[in-house]
Each structure stands twice: as C-alpha cells, then as structure tokens.
Structure 1
Amino acid sequence: MDSLTQIVLGASVGEAVLGKKVGNKAMLYGAIAGTIPDLDVLSSNFVNTVTAIEWHRGFTHSIFFSVLFAPIFGWVVCKIEKGSNATFEDWSWLMFWGLLTHPILDAFTTWGTQLFWPFDWRVAFQTIFVVDPLYTLPFLGFVVLAMLQSRDSPKRKLYNQWGLTISSFYLVLTVASKGLSFNKFKSALADEGIEYVNLNTRPTPFNTLLWSANVDVGDAYLVGNYSFLDSENISFQQYPKNHTLIGDLKTNDDFNRLVKITQGWYTLSEREGTLFLNDLRFGLISLDPDETRFAFSYRLEQEGDKLIISEEPRRRDDAKGLLKALWNRIWGN
C-alpha cells in the first residue's frame, strides 16, 4: 500500500500495543516501523531494474525480517527513550507488530509480498489497489481522533479500535468483492462460449467497485472490466501474446527473471524497432477499448551481448485521463 496508509496502520498498531504507557510516542514509533519495510526501494539506486523489482517487497517484507529486526529497532528506541515507562521488551513488541502488519496489508495488493522469505513464494490476494481512499481516509480520521485524546482517556482506545475494526472489515469486503466479480467474469466467459486456460482478477485503481480481468486463451489474452453497477454484458478486448518475438532472449537470464516476476502474465510488442515486455497484472494505461499501452512496460534493448532492461516512465496526462475514465466507468456501462 501507499506510504500514508502504512504510516496510519503503523501508528494505530503502535497505539494498540503501547499507547497506554507512552501516549503519542507509541503512534510515532509505530508509524516509523510501518515505514521501514518500504526502504527497500533504495536498492534501485545500486542494482539493475530486474534485481530492484525482485528485491522490492522481498526480505524487508517478510516475517523473518520482522522477527530479526524488531529487537534491534526496539533496543535503539529504548536508548532514545530512556526516561520512558516502556521497557526494551515493550518497544521490541511494538516494532515487531509495526513491521509485520505492513507486509500483511501489502499481501492484499496486486503486487503482493514475499511474506515467507526466503521461500520463493509471493503472497498476492489481489483484492485492493495500492491506493484506496475508502480504506485509508476513515482509518486516518479515527487515528487523528485518538491522538487528540489524553493517554488515559477511554475514548482514545475506543477511537483506535474503531479505526482498526473498520479498516479490517473493509479488507474483508474486498475479498468478498473479488469473489463476486470473479464469478461474474467466469459466467460472462461461459455465456460467450470462450474457453480459457487461466483467469485473473483485480480491482481497478482507487476503488473496489470496478474490477478488471485478464483471461489467458492460449495465444492471446482477453482483458475485460466489470462494475457492480453495470447493466450490460461484459465485453473483452484481445491482446496477442506475441511470445514468438522472444527469439534468442529465451536463454537470457535477466529476461527470464522478468518473465518470472510477471508470473507469466505478459505480452511482447514492438514500437519503432524496440521490443517491449508488458506486465498485464497492473492493467492498461487507460480504459479506452483501443488502448495498447500497459501501466508497467519494460524496454528491452540489446547492446552487444548485454540486454538492457528499463521501465517505461508513465506520463502525468495519462493518470489524469485514467482518473476521469475510472470515475465514469464505476457507475456502470
């Protein structure tokens, strides 16, 4: 999830663990703990694109990391807060839950997280977009209300509990929404007599009313959208896989690692003589039926014997257009 959401979750968890003893400092250190796992993005400054993608939401987003580093960070905080009523064990417990709840929440997103690192298994329930105001804003409101109360006020604990309860309930609703939308896509494919190898669904940006599906039909993928407010049948657009363009890249280690990251959901395309790998898991750059650009696309350039892989930058104008299109599409077709 986005940084603000992880800060809010960490602050709330810190309050639940240690707010009674140290007041708002529990929220402060909980927020810090909730931010630490995402510092893995700094690795992109030192490694190539593929390695940076592999490392993101890897080791720092694991149970192992939480167990290993919670006492270390707890010791640091204990030294900083020498006059506090909290013990080393208290601070370590706060840091553990702040570090652990971060990847647990990330596991509900499309990208997922390697919660069980070093085992090579990325947990991705794909029920919530990385930024979802309906999850974050009510949660933030309750955390702020709790923060404004005195340490011993019963309202402080009540507000924090409401924030945790409502946000958790919303996550449960996203799971139910995914199940309902999955069945809708499955029924639509059956009604059209479309045979498929695999079906993958995910929420579109910033909401859980409008869902998108990738359908593997062999040599191509179908992409469709469904809103719970739709009145018409689901329509699908077809995108050829073009995997025949792989050529000599089939023996390239970086290319195969990138394919593994996409979990097989990718197409290849050529533009102006340059080959691109498109990651289908995050959808297209717009809702236009004729759109061919994907949100995550990687340029594959051969320089001698070396393959240079770089992520295509996204344009601000595309984001603005997508937001408007999403708002209109949510209300039904």
Structure 2
Amino acid sequence: MATIISHALIPLSLGLVLNRDKYPWRLIIAGMLCAMLPDLDVLMFKFGVAYESPFGHRGFTHSLAFAAAIAAMLTLLSRYLKTAKARIFGFIFIAAASHGVLDAMTTGGLGVEFFWPVSLQRYFFPVQFIQVSPIGLHNFMTARGLQVIQSELVTIWLPCLVFVSLINIYSHQRTKP
C-alpha cells in the first residue's frame, strides 16, 4: 500500500484546482478522509482475517463498489458539505477509488479487488513504481519506512505538486487581460 497520508494527496490536489464555490473545503477534507478510509481494513488482521480474504487487506474496502457506497452515503450530507449531491458523489467516488488505484501501482502485496463483489480477482497495474509501505506503525518506523516516504515524495507528492502548479499557472494565464 502507499502510505495513508499519501492517499489524501489525490483529493487534496483535485480540490486545490477546482472551483472553491462548487467544491468547498469541507468536501475536500471529506474526500481526503475517504481516500484514507480503505486502509481501515488492516484492523481485520486483529480478528484473524487473512490478507487474501475479500474482507482482508486490499479486499472489498478497495473496490469500486465500496467507493460508490461511501460516495452515496456522503451525498446525504449535502447540506453540511454545502454543495450539490452530484458533485459530492463524483468527488468522493474519485477520492475513495483513488486509494485502490495507488495501491495497484505498488511493488508488493496481493493486488486490489477492484470489482468486488462481482469478482474476487486482485489486480496490479502493469507499471508498479510506488514502493509498498510496511503495515503497522512499528514496522513503518524503520529504515524501510523512511525509504518508502522518500520514494513517495518522488512518485506521488512531486507529481501532485506539478499537477496543481501547472493547472494554477494555466488558470492564471487564462484570466490575464
């Protein structure tokens, strides 16, 4: 998996380039939390659920169905999130689904169950360039964890920064008289 903090960068980056009147900070923060949410499945290890189980790590919580369910539930908060239900659904769906996308680009694990419950097949993308993060804080606070952070700075953080910067430069250029 990518580190939990790096998962939040995708909705944050999108939120930084979208119209703030239509995509308020409350929605962006909700998106960031929903992008991290699928990794709560690591708690299943405490209950003896095997990694390869549909209810194990990178199982149903990493699926497109889970992303859609979370997005649908958050549309009920449209008044609190101060935007239209369709915008909430789209933004939250992309935020939650981005978690599995990043994990499918990692160098380890068993793949991602994108199509649960229709299929229990796990997938990786053909290009896997994000170093897999150790699971658990104890395992993460090692030289290996530092190596993963350094890798993610180049493979996730830098591309997000470039994306936001380029969109903002383009938008600024378009609004010049």
Q: TM-score range by the shorter chain?
A: 0.5 to 0.7
Gap change, CA 1:16 and 1:61, over 3 Å in 2:
farther
Q: Does 1:124 align with 2:124?
A: yes
Q: Which runs of 5+ in 1 are unaligned?
A: 147-154, 162-333
Contact 2:130/2:155 (<8 A) preserved? no
Q: 1:135 aligns with which of 138, 147, 155?
A: 155
Q: 1:157 offset after TM fit, Å? A: 4.3
Q: Give runs of aligned pairs for residues 226-237 of structure 1, distance below 5 A.
A: none
- Write the distance in 2 (CA, Å) between the matches of 1:74 and 1:58: 24
Higher-Rg structure is 1
Q: 2:103 aligns with which of 80, 103, 106?
A: 106
Q: 1:7 offset after TM fit, Å? A: 0.8
- Write the distance in 1 (CA, Å) between the matches of 2:170 and 2:7: 15
User: Pairwise CA RMSD of aligned residues?
Assistant: 2.9
Q: 1:17 offset after TM fit, Å? A: 5.8
Q: 1:123 offset after TM fit, Å? A: 0.5
- Write the distance in 1 (CA, Å) between the matches of 2:31 and 2:170: 13
Paired amino acid for 1:51: A
Aligned partner of residue 21 in structure 1, secondary structure: coil
Q: Give runs of aligned pairs for residues 189-228 of structure 1, distance below 5 A.
A: none
Gap change, CA 1:104 and 1:75, over 3 Å in 2:
same
Contact 1:13/1:98 (<8 A) preserved? no
Q: 1:98 offset after TM fit, Å? A: 0.6
Matching residue of 1:10? 11
Aligned partner of residue 89 in structure 1, secondary structure: helix
Q: Which runs of 5+ in 2 are unaligned?
A: 133-147, 172-177
Contact 1:57/1:113 (<8 A) preserved? yes
TM-score of the pair, normalised by structure 2:
0.67
Gap change, CA 1:67 and 1:159, over 3 Å in 2:
farther
Paired amino acid for 1:108: M
Identify, as 1 or 2, the structure richer in helix. Answer: 2
Deviation string, structure 1 residues 285-323 (Cα, Å, up to 9, x no partner): xxxxxxxxxxxxxxxxxxxxxxxxxxxxxxxxxxxxxxx
Identify, as 1 or 2, the structure richer in strand. Answer: 1
Structure with the larger RCO, 1 or 2 (CA within 8 Å, 6+ apart):
2
Q: 1:25 offset after TM fit, Å? A: 3.5
Q: Size of the alignment, in residue pairs?
A: 145
Matching residue of 1:32? 33
Contact 1:13/1:97 (<8 A) preserved? no
Gap change, CA 1:122 and 1:141, over 3 Å in 2:
same
